[in-house]
Amino acid sequence: MRNALITGWGKCLPPTLLTNHDLESIVDTDDEWITTRTGIKERRISHVPLSDLAALAGKRALAAAGVEPEDVDLVMVATCTPDTLMPSAAGMVQNKLGATSAGAFDQNAACSGFLYSLISASGMVASGVIDTALVIGADVLTHLLDFSDRSTAVLFGDGAGAVVVQATDEDAGIIASRMGSDGSVAEILWAEGSGSATGYKEVERNHQLAAISMNGPEVFKRAVKAMGDASSAVIEEAGWSVDDIDLLVPHQANVRIIDATARRLKLDSSKVFVNIASYGNTSAATIPIALTEALENGRVQPGSKLVFAAFGAGLSWAAVALKFGSRVTPISEIDEELPPTDATVLDLLADNFAYFGGGPRG
């Protein structure tokens, strides 16, 4: 039977750190509050456009799969922070990779976007519409942060992760999936003014329009329920018990959300992958980055039973039960890195501060 298998994986994190201590000098917060309330210690700020992060993560995933760019049929980029709304980030990535035979499009389900894309691409591969897809989750949400708003400024970071999905005869791939959405509470997590509904005069009057605003406790509550329920549904549909699960790879938004989701599933914390301390919430990129690190650290074995779960703006959520394939090591690796930068993190954020009004406190 034809299945869709993850055959390559890669990540790209920009090098410049924004630590909790850096944030103490920008907004009224402290390392202890951020660490205990979120689990985050530091995050990255990108010095390059989103499409550069996405393209390098994609190149690494293609190398791991042993796939040449010209053999890719589709480049899908899950993002809500493309370089431009038109054309898509995926088109830019297709060009940067030299994926000359590929179609390309973006997909926006915010932080759930990677799972929506993985489900879509796997469906296309398994049904024979395409043979090989490059699925990238990438975001530079710090571009939309008002660093004078401590309720959002501490949570997000920039990054990209990617997987290659290919047709296979192996008995592996997605076994069950769920996607969900509740647009009736869209305003509890949104970047109002970032799209076409905003009047030109409003943008002139109020520079704060595009910043992310959020009702944190409400998002928290709904995230735990949505990720827990969607995960339970895919575990049941896969015919697994909780004991069968080798690893839960959840969206990394807040370690307390991850812990509460695992408790809801009655899953031991040793079976949960957590790397939020290093990167914060990289939105659509958290799961492919986490999966890549889980593979690098030997936490995914041939045939491992994995559960992915995510939630994000929309509100949107998704979960996937997936049996990993027989190969868990990359076929090859590339040396390429992002161009170096001498800029400090405050240099990189200077334009953001000038626009939104945040910045180092006097």
Which stretch in 70-78, 148-156, 175-183, 228-236 sits in contact with ligand COA by CB under 6 A? 148-156
Three-state DSSP string of 217-235? HHHHHHHHHHHHHHHHHHH
Tell me which residue has its CB nearest to ligand COA: 216
Given a contact cutoff of 8 angstroms between Cβ atoms, the answer to whether 77 and 54 are in contact is yes
Q: Rank residues 5 and 153 by Cβ distance to ligand COA and give the closer one.
A: 153
Name 45's bridge partners: 16
Q: Which is nearer to ligand COA, 104 or 253 (CB)?
A: 253
Structure tokens at 326: 């027989």
Determine the size of the site formed for ligand COA (CB under 6 A). 21
Strand ranges for the chain from DSSP E = 3-12, 16-19, 42-45, 74-78, 103-107, 132-140, 158-168, 173-181, 189-190, 213-214, 247-250, 305-312, 316-323
Closest-CA residue to 135 (of 26, 287, 16): 287
- Given the complex with ligand COA, which of 3 and 107 has the nearer CB atom? 107
The answer to the question of residue 37 lying near ligand COA (CB under 6 A) is yes
Cα distance between the two ends of the chain: 65
Task: Work out which of 95, 151, 208, 341 binds ligand COA, going by CB under 6 A.
Answer: 151
- Residue numbers 291-350 binding ligand COA by CB under 6 A: 312
Residue 20 catalytic?
Answer: no
Is 111 an active-site residue?
Answer: yes
Q: Lay out the site mask for ligand COA across 272-291 (x = CB under 6 A, - = otherwise).
A: ---------x----------
**Rounded CA separation 105/259 (Å):** 34
Of these, 49, 103, 123, 216, which contacts ligand COA (CB under 6 A)? Answer: 216
* Residue 252 in contact with ligand COA, rule: CB under 6 A: no
Residue with tokens 């042993």: 66
- Of 19, 24, 31, 33, which one interacts with ligand COA (CB under 6 A)? 33
SS3 label, residue 181: strand
108 binds ligand COA (CB under 6 A): no
Query: Is 207 assigned a catalytic role?
Result: no
In angstroms, how far is CA 54 from the centroid of its own chain? 11
- One of 12, 108, 111, 143 is an active-site residue; which one? 111
∠ CA(329), CA(124), CA(92), 5° rounding? 75
CB of 276 to ligand COA, least distance (A): 10
Which residues are catalytic, by number? 111, 251, 281
Contact positions vs ligand COA (CB under 6 A):
29, 33-34, 37-38, 111, 150-151, 154-155, 189, 214, 216-217, 219-220, 223, 253-254, 281, 312
